[in-house]
Chain A
Amino acid sequence: MKNAVGREIPERIGDYALKPYEGAYAVDPSKEPVHSLRTAAKPAAGGTKLLGTIEEAVRACGLKDGMTISFHHSFREGDEIVGQVLTAIRALGIRGLRFAPSAVVNIKNPSIVDFVKDGTIDRIEASGIRGELGDAVLAGLMEKPVILRTHGSRPRAIEAGELSIDVAFIGASAADSYGNATGQIGPNACGSLGYSFIDATAAGRVVVVTDYLVEYPCCPASISQQYVDYVVKVERIGDPEKIGMGAARLTKNPRDLLIAERAARVMAASRLFKDNFSFQTGAGAISIACTKYLEEQMEERSIKASFALGGMTAAIVEMYKKGLVRVLECSQSFDAVAARAIAEEPGIVEIDNALYANPFTKGAMLDRLNFGVLAALEVDTDFNVNILTGSSGEMMGGLGGGPDVAAGADISIVCLPVIRGRTPSVTKRVFTCCTPGETVACVVTEAGIALNPRHARYAELKEDLERANLKLVTIEELQKLAESLTGVPKPIETTDKVVCVVEYRDGTVIDVIREIKRG
């Protein structure tokens, strides 16, 4: 069957019935009470929940074959918790697990691929499967397709009962022996633990894993003791060098700077750019540069923002310190500066990832967002955006919150160069559709700005940008320019086997990825 963005998807894969994508705002939530496996409990005997090893915790949780386990990805590529927990589970002989972290980052030694090959894991659901695992999955590693969900869709799926977590392992840079835990202090501080709030309240059992045990009560505490069954202290939760990355340096690439400046000009030209506006820029090279240019525009016109949202960077913390933004709502901290800032500044706060982006609650913060700046691998002439797969069929990224931001923000701005090397990024048809074109207001490239005539704010934005003398082109012109530079690439060949299901934020299927044929 074909969905509303014209993608051919199967009706059923094994026992998973696919609901086709119908439109960005077309589906209503169920009227059922939200789902959780959390049970009532009595306080832990002896006033401590501390266990000696991860094995003990896994046994105490009653983890069995076929159950679902979860993690957050806030330690990024420095994470060593996932590897330690999976190694312990394998040693106990437990198999066939569903692995449902907020995202899979590229961890090595051990690699997730090893746990799939030996049968410890047989299903994966996450926002992205970066690195070695992603490439192995595209090459047909797994029997069951990986389900990819946006950051907003994960808590939605948990509350809808589509993803029930039996045991959540929550890594913390500091915790006490009774389960209060945080990512804000300790030698391996990672900042916001926003992804784990839903796991703490909805999982059957919750294990906090830390390498830095503090006196009771741990303060600040992001994860509350009332949800935590066990605490395990390990030697180390990760590689401090990779967890505590400093502020990302500003790119010097002139093309990226040009695109970033142009995106900031689009925002500044909009009638929504006035006191108390709100924005989200993200962590890519263009995004960080765009933050700096936005700062210049705000200072020039003496405009202050009410809030900045989502993944936080040093560049935005700097704007806060200058008094340019009143509140930073951090669902994730992208660098060490942003990680520490939550504990230090009253207006920089950690938020639940569901509050950030869940489409089926009484209100996510991104519904109140004026501007969202988004990165992309590819965009096509229907304004559909690909943020997952590279043009030669490799897994390049995760869904993250991109599709959520595009749907929530008044004006979503996709920034990308028209070509990367010899790879065209503005194409006739993206390889994987992740964000539907109807939610994309404009595409900003080094060759001009293309507005989407199908977007709700098209007329207003066109008027504003023309008044500011910003160069407008059509998306077709950008596509033709890209093709004239690179030539027409040979399409990627796939088999019929679906290896990834790309869910839209409402749980419908916007696209599938089929196994890549390697020549």
Chain B
Amino acid sequence: MEIKKPAVAGSLESSDCQITVEPNPGQGISVHLESDVKAMFGDSILETVHTVLKELSVPEAHVELRDRGALDCVIRARLQCAVCRAAETAYDWTKEDA
């Protein structure tokens, strides 16, 4: 999936995570994480980001997360949404049926 433009998903409400995805030409994946629970879950959040990007076949993107203690499923959903918006494509729901 090619990141064509900057896009955002999520909010700064407690238990949510605001994620921005931007083009990152020639520089692969870079991630910037701010989180209320970074000490406890920082590594786990970064792992989730890389996993989701791999699942969506995103080779290049700059991802910024402002996490307010969101659960893992919320972070995954927000990232999937932000990536699809940035790639100007719809989410492939057939994957959910597998």
Contacts and interface: CB of A to CB of B under 8 A. Distances in A.
Interface of A: 391-393, 420-423, 485-487, 489-490, 492, 519
Contact of B70 (A392, A422, A489, A490): A422
Given A485-B71, A487-B72, A423 B39 contact: no
Contacts of A422: 15, 37, 40-41, 69-71
User: Across chains A and B, which 10 residue pairs bring their CB atoms closest together, nearest first?
Assistant: A421-B69, A489-B40, A422-B69, A392-B39, A421-B15, A422-B37, A490-B40, A487-B44, A422-B71, A392-B40
A492 B39 contact: yes
Contact of B43 (A423, A486, A490): A490
Nearest to A489: B40
B51 to A, nearest CB: 13
A519 B39 contact: yes
Interface of B: 14-15, 36-37, 39-44, 68-72
Given A485-B71, A487-B72, A421 B41 contact: no
Nearest to B74: A422
Given A423-B40, A490-B43, 18 more contacts: A391-B40, A392-B36, A392-B40, A420-B69, A421-B14, A421-B68, A421-B70, A422-B40, A422-B69, A422-B70, A423-B37, A423-B69, A486-B72, A487-B44, A487-B72, A489-B37, A489-B40, A489-B41
A393 B38 CA distance: 12
A384 B19 CA distance: 37
Nearest to A419: B71
A391 B36 CA distance: 11
Contacts, number: 42
21 contacts: A392-B36, A392-B40, A421-B14, A421-B15, A421-B36, A421-B37, A421-B70, A422-B15, A422-B40, A422-B41, A422-B69, A422-B71, A423-B37, A423-B40, A485-B71, A486-B71, A487-B41, A487-B72, A490-B41, A490-B42, A492-B40
Nearest to A516: B39
Contacts of B15: 421-422
Nearest to B14: A421
A391 B14 CA distance: 16
Contacts of B37: 392, 421-423, 489
Contacts of B39: 392-393, 490, 492, 519
A175 B54 CA distance: 71
Nearest to A518: B39
B69 to A, nearest CB: 3
A255 B39 CA distance: 26
A391 B37 CA distance: 9
Residue among A392, A393, A492 facing the most chain B CB atoms (10 A cut-off): A392
A485 B72 CA distance: 8
A489 B45 CA distance: 11
Contacts of A391: 40
A492 B41 CA distance: 11
Residue among A393, A489, A492 facing the most chain B CB atoms (10 A cut-off): A489
A493 B55 CA distance: 33
A144 to B, nearest CB: 27
Contacts of B44: 487
A487 B72 CA distance: 8
Nearest to A422: B69
B50 to A, nearest CB: 16
B37 to A, nearest CB: 5
